[in-house]
């Protein structure tokens, strides 16, 4: 099961509403769902909440180190409570996914994301879960830094918020350690439409008259 939920972002009011803070938005939404409050914990360099789910301790963490030093916060809490990388989920903004969609994945590269890069280095492992929250791409590589540190347009922000609400529905499966079910729930953006009932086969019309001449 996932024991440590991490949201990535930058501390400070000037960054609060920027795309790079989508991971913080996700943890804030999870904290509301679990009815817990994040409080500053200097020993873990972040805002932390601890609660119990199904009799197991669960931690929520928002590193306050700035994005490129996120691993310092994650590793210090994980080491202290003996949480393995496989029991960690990191929620972060993802350029390669459009707003309104999210993906859950295990392991793999950091793909140039500075927060993930530092977590890789500090944990000494890439084997943790990532919840990739789509923020879209500006279309030009040179614009990426500017893009992630800007506020999304209101319609994009709404799409991101909707995506966060959708992914939170996978939390019971994440708490239970049913990662297959959690992945399925995150990746199903629209509920499948019920199939219409099949009409009963109509009797074949009787042929009238004799053979065609």
Alpha carbon of 148 to those of 5, 15, 16, 97: distances in Å?
22, 10, 12, 13
Question: Of 75, 89, 76, whose CA–CA distance to 4 is shortest?
Answer: 89
Does the annotation list 24 as a binding residue? no
Question: Of 90, 97, 119, whose CA–CA distance to 26 is shortest?
Answer: 90
Does the annotation list 114 as a binding residue? yes
Does the annotation list 44 as a binding residue? no
Integer Cα distance of 31 and 36 in angstroms: 5
End-to-end CA distance of the chain: give it in Å, rounded.
76
Q: Is 20 a catalytic residue?
A: yes
Integer Cα distance of 170 and 96 in angstroms: 21
> φ, ψ for residue 13 (rounded to 5)?
-60, -30
Does the annotation list 68 as a binding residue? yes
Contact 8, 92 (CB under 8 A): yes
Among 20, 92, 113, 120, the active-site one is 20
Cα–chain center distance at 99: 12
Integer Cα distance of 31 and 25 in angstroms: 10
* Residues that are catalytic: 20
Residue list for the binding site? 15, 66, 68, 114
* Binding-site residues from annotation for tRNA: 15, 66, 68, 114
């Amino acid at each position: 099961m996932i024991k440590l939920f991490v949201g990535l972002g930058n501390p400070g009011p000037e960054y609060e509403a920027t795309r790079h803070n989508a991971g913080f938005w996700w943890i804030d939404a999870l904290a509301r769902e679990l009815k817990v409050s994040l409080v500053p914990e200097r020993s873990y360099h972040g805002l932390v909440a601890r609660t119990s789910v199904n009799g197991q301790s669960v931690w929520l963490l928002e590193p306050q180190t700035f994005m490129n030093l996120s691993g310092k916060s994650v590793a210090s809490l994980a080491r202290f409570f003996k949480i393995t990388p496989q029991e960690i989920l990191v929620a972060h903004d993802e350029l390669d996914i459009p707003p309104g969609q999210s993906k859950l994945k295990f392991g793999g590269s950091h793909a140039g994301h500075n927060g993930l890069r530092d977590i890789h280095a500090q944990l000494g492992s890439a084997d943790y879960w990532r919840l990739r929250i789509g923020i879209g791409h500006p279309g030009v590589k040179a614009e990426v830094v500017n893009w992630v540190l800007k506020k999304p347009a209101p319609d994009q922000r709404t799409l991101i918020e909707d995506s966060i609400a959708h992914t939170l529905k996978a939390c019971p499966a994440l708490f239970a350690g049913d990662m297959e079910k959690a992945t399925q729930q995150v990746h199903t953006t629209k509920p499948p439409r019920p199939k219409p009932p099949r009409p009963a086969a109509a009797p074949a019309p009787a042929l009238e008259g004799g053979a065609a001449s």
